[in-house]
Structures are given as structure tokens and as C-alpha cells.
Amino acid sequence: MMAVLDMVQALNQALKLEMQRDKNVVVLGEDVGADGGVFRVTDGLQKEFGALRCIDTPLAESALIGASIGLAMNGIKPVLEAQFNGFSIPMLDQLVNHASRIRWRTRGQRSCPLVLRIPVGGKIRALEHHSDSPETYFAHTPGLKVVIPSNPYDAKGLLISAIRDSDPVIFLEPLSLYRAIKQEVPNKPYTVEIGKASVMREGSEVTLISYGAMVHECLKAAEMLDGKVSCEVIDLRTLKPLDIEAVSASVEKTGRAIVVHEAQRYCGVAAEVAAQIVENNFLNLKAPIQRVAGFDAVLPMPKLEKYYLPNVDKITKAINKAMSY
Amino acid sequence: MKKTIAQFQVPYLQVLDETGKIDENVMTPLSSKQIKELFELMVLTRVFDDIALRMNREGRLGTYAPMIGEEASIVGTGYAMEKNDWLFPSFRENTTMFLRGVPFEKLLLYWRGDERGNNFPANAKSLPVYVPVSTQMPHAVGFAWAAKMKKEKYATVVIFGDGATSKGDFYESMNFAGIFHIPIVFVCFNNQYAISLPRSSQTNAKTLAQKAIAAGLEYFIQVDGNDVFAVHSAVSAALKFAKAHGPAFVECFTYRRSHHTTADDWTRYRQLKEVEAWQKKDPIDRLRKYMQSKKIWTKAYENKVVAKARTTVGNAVKKSEAMPEPDNKDIFKFMFKEPTPDLQRQSKELDE
């Protein structure tokens, strides 16, 4: 049985199915209960599972993640929500100093299998501190897995995988995709493996590597150039651990790579992907690897946001440049 | 209209004063055997300190945080905990951890810079040392909350210092625990210094215990932290309260007589006469005086206790120093349940 769902509905279904499967799964965060979360991802969960399993917490991000670490260390599976990406930054102390190293420093005696959901990215005309892309902070931290879906099917399968994982997973949800795409999604539970990229479009001349909302900008650019340049589009889906095999296999074929993301360029995921391509595919390369990313400036509010973020035009220019070598 | 809508009072408890006399009205009955155990554990704490500091000077131990002066708080808290209670320590509570089942050789291994020291026996009810200040507090809250969710009957104790009470995690944790009636006891070892910063410059609050009031905690008390009877009694009562009702707070008013750690030099920020004044309030001396008055102490007894403590710690030193060097692959061993491909690749670099 399938249903046509958007990403919010697919995520909601994943949470519901996992809470039905395992009574130790609890959802917690600010306004996740009666309100169903500010983006409605947790809608109806408190009604079905009660206030002891879908828990409204006080407005205190450090205690929210810190208490979740304690829950996870003691046999509960917390799936917590950072209300907005800017509110995940106070959680970094707990993530970097603790969640990521519980298993390591207790020599495997304790673990911290929590899932932290964070809405990320721009293009929804939101307030300041609501549209940033903080993935690099998490991906840079040893001990965390970082996942980001680009469509409802992957969103559900990856979230179920994240909940079943034995270690902490940062689950990034692209805000601009919450309601933008509908897709047939199986009603039953299923998993999408963490650590595996997906080839969204096959091509032979240029590899576009992206994740989250920017996957769709890459696909649009590839379609626009259809018949002129043959573009392959890879959706990383997991930022850490990185599926470098999938990227390398594609670049071996195309010889050209462009990495696209909303986050600022410096030390961004694109920098890591580019470095690993050079390490693996130096002799395959026919053009310099390019990054189409946010600027190393503060993400502006909606008036200027479109100039900052990657788009089809910027990606097309990069593709043409790659072909000009 | 103007009226008082809430009023609070902060209770204080001292059972055993500096001269070794007890206030019978507030003394929780303890057997001679129990009193001797408390004495022996405090002596053991001081002996551990002596040996650890000597090892540090000889280059056999890394940076170490001395416990001297705080033995009553360290021992009294651990002694009050029941079999299944859990401890989230800070970094100056070796004997509290020992009382939760952590062997001294593990602690020494840790202070020697070896993570294998955190690999505790399965029945140990303590987390490893926590170095960052106050960040373990929400973990303890979550851990205790999980116990409540699973209908398990133990409580969790988290220990932190006066410096921690200035931090957000401190207040967020108490507030969180208050809302969900979580079975946790917050035990503050107010040792008057956060490295060099005196308590008076840490906060303008008159007591640290009163900080629990704003978070809605219903059990809070300041005790003489150099009085092992007061600490034991207050933490026992707090644990009982936590298991029945929810979070409790105990401020142990004590004094760090030595350096913050072996990397510190206290002469830069305080006077000798201040330290000497606290020496007169020594937790072991006052218990000894009390035991003498009760005729359960002799010099020969104490000599035996010290000798036994030296043997216990000495054996732990031998065990920790006899450990073979760790495998360099241990760097990668516990990152994830299943090693990820990137880490498998990096692990091979050690073989090149």
C-alpha cells in the first residue's frame, strides 16, 4: 500500500511507526506535543502516545539535548527536535563534548543512540536564525552521523534507520522541501541505509554532487542542459560517513565534479568532497572541481537571500565552465 | 494592593562541630561500625591523595585534582547512596566513585591518561569522571528520568562545584527536573573556589542552595560540608525525597585546601592564613575527636587504618602500572557500534 505524501507527512509517519514498534522511543522538544511541532512533523503523536512519550519540554536547548543524552545512556530512545536550526547551536556543547564521545570514553559500556532532528536551509522567507545550514559543525565532530534527505521516500526510510541506529544521528530536514514535493511512499516501515548516496540522474560528462534542497536545483540545471551536456546528479543523503565510493565511481566516468550546497563555502562539505575526489580521482579529472555554495558572509534575510544561495543559474555557469577546459 | 506572595527559608545543618561535639537533636543514629567506616573512608581518601600527588611529582600520574579538605563531602555523599543509586561525578570525587564500585586502579589509570581507566566493572554504578563544568548535570537528569519512565526505583546523584552554579546547564537541569519530578539529587560541593575565583566573586547569591528555589525544587539545604554526619544525613534524606517526590538539592559548604589541580598554584590567589583557618575545621580531625569521646578510637587503631589504606592504594598503583601499553587501534575501537568505512580506512594508516 502506498500513499502520496509530502516530507512532513512522511517524517510524521516514520515517527509514528517507530513509536508503535518500540515503547522506548520517545519524542521530545519545544512545542512538539499539543502544537505538533512548529512545522507539524510531530502532529498527532501526543494524542496517540500520550504526554509521557511525546513530551513538551521547557525552552532550554542545552537541557533538552543533555537530558536526551542521559535518556539514551539509560535505555530510552530519544528523538528530539531542535525547533529551528539557530536553536541547534546551543546544543553544540553537549554534542561535541558528550553525545559524540559517550561510547568512546566509556569504552563501549554506554552508548548514546539519540536522534536530533533539525530543520535547515533557506528559501522559505523565514526570520533570522531560521534559515542557516549548520551541517558542517556536526559533520566535523567525530562520533556523530549526519543525514539529510531530499525527498519524502528517503526522509521516511532514513529517519527509521536513524531511530534504529546504535549511535547518535543528526537528522537534517530541508525546510524548503517540507511541503514542496509529494511522492508515493509505502505505508509500511522500511529503511534507507545510512552512509549510502543515491544517483538521482545518470550522465556521462559532469557529476553534480549535492544534498537536501540543492539536489533539486542540480536536477533542474541538468534537465535544462539536456542534449547539450550530460550531467549525473548524486544525492549524498548522508554527509557523515560520506559515500565516497559512489562519488568516485561517478567522477571516474565523467572526469568533472561540481559540489553544491547552501552552507557557506569555507570548510564546508564541498571542501571535504573535493579533497577526497582529488585523493581518489586525480588522474581522471578533466577540469578543476568547483564548489557552488553559500558565500562566507552571514546568510541574509529574505530580501537578499536569493543572491546568496546556489541556484540553477549558478550551477549552469559552473557546468559550462567545467566543460570549457 | 501589595502583599507577600511567596516566602522561602534556606535550612542549614551541622551535626558535628569543629571541636568534635555532636548535636544529639539532629544526629541520625549511626552504629560504631558505621562511624568507623566513615572515618576509614576519609583516611583512605587522604591516603589516595598523598599517593596520587607523589606519583604526579614523580611523573607517574598526569594532572590530578586533590581532594584534601573535602573528604567529608566526598565520603558522606557516597556513603548515603543505596545499592542501586547512580552517580554522575565531577572530577574530585575518587572515593565517591570508589563507593559506587569503581576500583582505584581504574581511577589511577584514568589519571595516568589512559581511557581504559573508564572501562568499569559491570556492577559499578558511576559514570566516568566529567571534566567540563556542569555539563553532566542534564545527563544525570535524563538518566534519572529514564529510570522513572522504566519504573525502576533508584535515584541519581550528580556532584558539581560552586563554579557550576553560575552556568546555564545548572539552572536548566534543575528546572527540567522540577517539571518532570525526576528522582535526582543535586549535590554541590561548594569548596569556595573555582580554580582562582572565590565564591564571593562567583555569585552575589547568599547561598548556593537558594538557587534551587527559583527552579521550583522542594528540598534544598546547606550543610557543613566538613561534617560527615551532616552530609550523610542530608544526602540520605534528599535521596529518600527524590525517590518519593522529585529533585532535591544539597549544598555542602566545604573548602579546597590544596591546588585546583596539580597544574595550579594557590598562592597566587589566596592567603596562607585563610587555608590555615580551614585546617582547623578538618573533617577527619573532628571525627577523630568525636570517636575519642566515644572511646572508639585509639592511636593503634588509626595506625592500622592508615597502613591498610596504604596497602589498598599501593596495590591499585601496582595494578595500574602493570597494565600493558594500550593498542593504538583503540583510537578507533569505540567510535561507533559498527566501524564506519572512513574510520576503517584511517585505522589502516596506523599500519603504514
CA dist., res. B254 & res. B190, Å (int): 6
Q: Is A72 on the interface with B (CB under 8 A)?
A: yes
pLDDT in tens, A190-224: 999 999 999 999 999 999 999 999 999 999 999 99
Q: Which of A105, A146, A193 to mutate to test the interface with B (most CBs of B within 10 A)?
A: A105
Q: Which of B154, B184, B331, B334 to mutate to test the interface with A (most CBs of A within 10 A)?
A: B334
* CB within 8 Å: B120 and A109: yes
Judge contact between A256 and A205, C-beta under 8 A: yes
Nearest to A66 among B118, B142, B150 (CB): B142
Q: Is A227 on the interface with B (CB under 8 A)?
A: no
Q: How confident is residue A83, by pLDDT bands cut at 50, 70 and 90?
A: very high
Give B269→chain A minimum CA distance, Å.
29
* CB within 8 Å: B145 and A67: yes
Q: Is A74 on the interface with B (CB under 8 A)?
A: yes
Q: Which residues pair with A27 in a beta bridge?
A: A54, A79
CA dist., res. B150 & res. B310, Å (int): 42
Q: Among residues B350, B291, B320, which one has the least CA distance to residue B106?
A: B320
Whether the per-residue pLDDT at B152 is higher than 90: the answer is: yes
Average pLDDT, integer, range A110-135? 96
Query: According to the 3-state scheme, what is the secondary structure of A173-187?
Result: EEHHHCCCCCEEEEC
pLDDT in tens, B52-90: 999 999 999 999 999 999 999 999 999 999 999 999 999
Judge contact between A206 and A256, C-beta under 8 A: yes
Residue-range domains of chain A with CATH: 2-186 (3.40.50.970), 198-323 (3.40.50.920)
pLDDT in tens, B287-323: 999 999 999 999 999 999 999 999 999 999 999 999 9
Q: What is the pLDDT of residue A251?
A: 98
CA dist., res. A106 & res. A120, Å (int): 32
Query: According to the 3-state scheme, what is the secondary structure of chain A?
Result: CEEEECHHHHHHHHHHHHHHHCCCEEEEECCCCCCCCCCCCCCCHHHHHCCCCEEECCCCHHHHHHHHHHHHHCCCEEEEECCCHHHHHHHHHHHHHCHHHHHHHCCCCCCCCCEEEEEECCCCCCCCCCCCCCHHHHHCCCCCEEECCCCHHHHHHHHHHHHHCCCCEEEEEEHHHCCCCCEEEECCCCCCCCCCCEEEECCCCEEEEECCCHHHHHHHHHHHCCCCCCEEEEECCEEECCCHHHHHHHHHHHCCEEEEEEEECCCCHHHHHHHHHHHHHHHHCCCCCEEEEECCCCCCCHHHHHHHCCCHHHHHHHHHHHHCC
Q: Which three cell numbers stand for residue B75?
A: 565520603
Give A216→chain B minimum CA distance, Å.
27
Residue A94: CB partners within 8 Å, gap ≥ 6? Answer: A62, A65, A66, A69, B135, B138
Q: What is the pLDDT of chain A when averaged over all its residues?
A: 97
Nearest to A70 among B132, B142, B343 (CB): B142
Half-sphere exposure of B291 (CA within 13 A, CB side): 25
Q: What is the pLDDT of chain B when averaged over all its residues?
A: 97
Whether the per-residue pLDDT at A228 is higher than 90: the answer is: yes
* CB within 8 Å: A63 and B118: no
Q: Among residues A85, A65, A271, A300, which one has the least CA distance to residue A174?
A: A85
Average pLDDT, integer, range A175-179? 98
Share of chain B above pLDDT 90, in %: 100
pLDDT in tens, B99-140: 999 999 999 999 999 999 999 999 999 999 999 999 999 999
Sequence ranges of the domains in chain B: 12-321, 328-352
Whether the per-residue pLDDT at A231 is higher than 90: the answer is: yes
3-state secondary structure of B161: strand
Average pLDDT, integer, range A160-164? 98
* CB within 8 Å: A73 and B144: no
CA dist., res. A138 & res. A84, Å (int): 15
Nearest CA in chain B to A75: B146
Give A14→chain B minimum CA distance, Å.
22
Tell me how far the alpha carbon of residue B123 is from its chain's centroid.
19
Whether the per-residue pLDDT at B352 is higher than 90: the answer is: no
pLDDT in tens, A265-289: 999 999 999 999 999 999 999 999 9
Q: What is the pLDDT of residue B245?
A: 98
Judge contact between B42 and B291, C-beta under 8 A: no
**Domain B12-321's class?**
alpha beta
Average pLDDT, integer, range A42-71? 98
CA dist., res. A87 & res. A104, Å (int): 26
Average pLDDT, integer, range A146-153? 98
ipTM: 0.96
Average pLDDT, integer, range B20-44? 97
Whether the per-residue pLDDT at B96 is higher than 90: the answer is: yes
Nearest to A143 among B115, B335, B342 (CB): B335
Residue A252: CB partners within 8 Å, gap ≥ 6? Answer: A281, A284
Question: Which residues in B lie closer than 8 A to residue A246 (C-beta atoms)?
Answer: none
CA angle A28, B137, B244 (to 5 degrees): 80
* CB within 8 Å: B334 and A58: no
Average pLDDT, integer, range A49-73? 98
Q: Which three cell numbers stand for residue B264?
A: 595550579
pLDDT in tens, B180-214: 999 999 999 999 999 999 999 999 999 999 999 99
Distances (CA, A) of A134 to A36, A268, B272: 24, 10, 50
